[in-house]
Amino acid sequence: MLSTAIEVPSEVSEMKLRRRGLLGGFNRFRLMLTLGLAVLLPAAALIYVNFSQLRTFERDKVLEKAIHRDFQEMLAITEKKINKKAVSMTEDARNLFPSPGSDVEAKEKKLDEILAKSPWLAHAFLYEEDVMVFRSQSDQMEKDRYLRKEHEHMAESYNTWFGSEGKALVEGLYKKKRQMTFITGPIKRADCNAYGMTVVFALPQYSKEDVVIAGVSFDPCYLQQTFFPGVLNEQVTEKLTEQGGNQVAMMVYPVEMEMAPGAKPLATSAGWGEGEPEVSRKLDDVFRGLALGIKYQGTSVEALGQTWVHRSFLILGFLSLMIIGGLVLTRHIVNKELALARLKSDFVSNVSHELRTPLALIRLYAETLELGRITTGDKKQRYYRIIRKESERLTALINNILDFSRIEAGRKEYEFRNTDIAELVHNTLESYRYQIEQQGFAFEENIDPNLPAVPVDREAIARALVNLVNNALKYSQDEKFLGVKLYRDNGVVKLEVADHGIGITRRDQSKIFEKFYRAGDPLVHNTKGSGLGLSLVRHITQAHGGEIAVESTPGKGSRFILSLPLSAAAQQPAVS
């Protein structure tokens, strides 16, 4: 757009600027304050609370406690299973015991039968009327001297025990729920050093008054190698299928050992490996003297807790980074929006000024002519020309604004027609020639006459050219030169508008095509403009499938190069 001669007093514009700056600053401060209060503060509080909670978490070992509770529960369940299984096996054997009235021989036979049926038992015995029948696994007795010794010792000591305390023992047994009592202790065998368990029980088929005491001893090797590992493995697998997560391992060990480092457990589930149990539980019913232990396979609760805390810290750190990133982005967007708002308000004041100035001139000259005071034909001509020029400028400005608003609303349409572009450019320049030369510009027009017809929107291309020419006139100071070239280059037609004006810095070159953008040069500030011209030029060029480029050196001048494709196929829908 062309600049006008009317100058705004510098103090006024300075004041305006200062006020605007103050207002902008205040707005930004308010926005930042809102941002700070609404987002930053809660985010910071959240991060702080989480971090401190995590730290207390680490200290309190809440997680460890929870896992320990879980482990305790699992051990309690396991003990119940172990007891239930041992009791049920004992009951099975008890049911096979002879009925009252059998003679010794029959009893021996019956007990041998029980032992044959239940290879996991080492001994079976029956004490009735001061007679003890004590049988053991015969084939093993032959092989294992420890078992032989144990047989002799037990038969004798139990006989003595039942002889002296039989009555009280029977009474005691009948008071118990299962009428059983359990005796455990370490046992030596040829094949294993382990724990044995003997159950002493009453027989329901006998009267409560009779001193009849029976019992069986579990084979220690069976307990160690089959019974315990079986139950433990079953429990471990059950836990994994029910709850998933880290796999646990369990073991049974004698209490006296108290899991001294390096001490060997009695029996373990799969995956125990080495190390001490995380949580233990002393068995106090059937297997008194033994304890259960549990831990995670390949890791410890402490390590798990640490990993958990580390992971939480990492997640929190990542979230914090995201929040910070979000804040930075928001700040950036807010700043951009504020800048755009400032540009828009600049635009409104510039445009209203640009509208007012030509209108005032038109009115002034029209009134002067109307009064009939101008007598010389020459002067009249001059006044008519000014009125025409100013109204042309008004039209150009209004066209730009209308185009811009159409583009913004996505309603801008182009009408492409095969056009003699050389003629279009020449005619457009012709209508400006007088003005260009009037302003003291050296004007060079260089148009290739042999150009083919190009599919373009005539009006749009003329508007683009006018905008470029106007800019060249507006932004030239000492050296007034305007060069327009139109030529063919490969598959495109190039339209160049060059000046020897103030030039554009490299930084500004990438921004001048944005809407409302105006460079910070003092001449630009003092020249009125809307910041719309180049954004329109770019839109028009892109709609033609072409592109716009600028080459410029500050202080030396600028060259805008508009390339338009020769073929219609290259045309693209308008891009705003």
| Closer CB to ligand ADP, 463 or 518, in the complex | 518
Supply φ then ψ for residue 123, to 5 degrees: -135, 155
| Closer CB to ligand ADP, 137 or 558, in the complex | 558
Given strand 547-553, what is the order of strands in its sheet?
Answer: 442-447, 481-489, 492-499, 557-565, 547-553
Member of 2, 290, 532, 564 binding ligand ADP (CB under 6 A): 532
Tell whether residue 394 is a contact of ligand ADP (CB under 6 A): no
The encoded tokens of residue 268 equal: 């373990």
What is the 3-state secondary structure of 347-368? Answer: HHHHHHHHHHHHHHHHHHHHHH
**Exposed / middle / buried, residue 538 (Cβ in 10 Å: 0-12, 13-18, 19+):** buried
- Least distance between ligand ADP and beta carbon 499 (Å): 5
The span from the CA of 482 to the CA of 559, in Å, is 10
The span from the CA of 427 to the CA of 433, in Å, is 10
| Closer CB to ligand ADP, 192 or 401, in the complex | 401
Tell whether residue 396 is a contact of ligand ADP (CB under 6 A): no
> Positive or negative CA dihedral for 63, 64, 69, 75?
positive
- Least distance between ligand ADP and beta carbon 532 (Å): 6
The encoded tokens of residue 5 equal: 């001669």
Supply φ then ψ for residue 122, to 5 degrees: -95, -45
Tell whether residue 393 is a contact of ligand ADP (CB under 6 A): no
Q: Do 527 and 502 touch, CB atoms closer than 8 A?
A: no
Binding span for ligand ADP by CB under 6 A among 200-208, 477-485, 529-537, 538-546: 529-537
> Positive or negative CA dihedral for 90, 95, 100, 102?
negative
- Least distance between ligand ADP and beta carbon 356 (Å): 16
Binding span for ligand ADP by CB under 6 A among 53-61, 154-162, 271-279, 494-502: 494-502
How many residues line the site for ligand ADP (CB under 6 A)? 23
The encoded tokens of residue 356 equal: 């007012």
Q: Which residues pair with 488 in a beta bridge?
A: 493
- Least distance between ligand ADP and beta carbon 502 (Å): 5
| Closer CB to ligand ADP, 94 or 474, in the complex | 474
Binding span for ligand ADP by CB under 6 A among 32-40, 227-235, 419-427, 502-510: 502-510
Tell whether residue 136 is a contact of ligand ADP (CB under 6 A): no
Binding span for ligand ADP by CB under 6 A among 14-22, 100-108, 162-170, 523-531: 523-531
Tell whether residue 483 is a contact of ligand ADP (CB under 6 A): no
Member of 115, 362, 456, 534 binding ligand ADP (CB under 6 A): 534
Residue with tokens 């030239």: 476
Tell whether residue 499 is a contact of ligand ADP (CB under 6 A): yes
The span from the CA of 335 to the CA of 330, in Å, is 8
Member of 290, 394, 472, 493 binding ligand ADP (CB under 6 A): 472
The span from the CA of 414 to the CA of 459, in Å, is 9
Binding span for ligand ADP by CB under 6 A among 19-27, 92-100, 403-411, 515-523: 515-523
| Closer CB to ligand ADP, 496 or 499, in the complex | 499
What is the dihedral angle through the alpha carbons of 207, 208, 213, 214, rounded to the nearest 10 degrees?
60
Tell whether residue 471 is a contact of ligand ADP (CB under 6 A): yes
Tell whether residue 407 is a contact of ligand ADP (CB under 6 A): no
Instruction: Give the closest residue to 213 by CA, choosing from 185, 187, 181.
Output: 181
Q: Which residues contact 520 (CB under 8 A, 6 or more apart)?
A: 508
- Least distance between ligand ADP and beta carbon 539 (Å): 11
Binding span for ligand ADP by CB under 6 A among 30-38, 271-279, 284-292, 495-503: 495-503
The encoded tokens of residue 531 equal: 């910041």
The encoded tokens of residue 305 equal: 């807790």
Tell whether residue 484 is a contact of ligand ADP (CB under 6 A): no
- Least distance between ligand ADP and beta carbon 509 (Å): 9
Tell whether residue 137 is a contact of ligand ADP (CB under 6 A): no
The span from the CA of 1 to the CA of 400, in Å, is 9
Member of 412, 475, 563, 571 binding ligand ADP (CB under 6 A): 475
Tell whether residue 562 is a contact of ligand ADP (CB under 6 A): no
Segment 19-22 long-range contacts (CB within 8 Å, at least 24 positions apart): 20/342, 20/345
The span from the CA of 457 to the CA of 446, in Å, is 22
Binding span for ligand ADP by CB under 6 A among 256-264, 375-383, 423-431, 525-533: 525-533
Binding span for ligand ADP by CB under 6 A among 65-73, 199-207, 436-444, 530-538: 530-538
Helix (H) or strand (E) holding 433: helix 421-438
| Closer CB to ligand ADP, 83 or 399, in the complex | 399
Supply φ then ψ for residue 490, to 5 degrees: 55, -125
Q: Which residues pair with 267 in a beta bridge?
A: 252
Tell whether residue 235 is a contact of ligand ADP (CB under 6 A): no
Member of 98, 533, 545, 546 binding ligand ADP (CB under 6 A): 533
| Closer CB to ligand ADP, 107 or 474, in the complex | 474
Tell whether residue 354 is a contact of ligand ADP (CB under 6 A): no
Member of 251, 512, 543, 562 binding ligand ADP (CB under 6 A): 512
Residue with tokens 């100058």: 7
- Least distance between ligand ADP and beta carbon 399 (Å): 13
Member of 107, 239, 518, 544 binding ligand ADP (CB under 6 A): 518
Q: Which residues pair with 446 in a beta bridge?
A: 485
- Least distance between ligand ADP and beta carbon 527 (Å): 7
Helix (H) or strand (E) holding 291: strand 290-296
Member of 196, 531, 545, 546 binding ligand ADP (CB under 6 A): 531
Q: Which residues contact 21 (CB under 8 A, 6 or more apart)?
A: none
Q: Do 183 and 195 touch, CB atoms closer than 8 A?
A: no
Member of 280, 428, 530, 571 binding ligand ADP (CB under 6 A): 530
Binding site for ligand ADP (CB under 6 A): 1, 467, 471-472, 475, 499, 501-504, 512, 517-519, 524, 529-535, 558
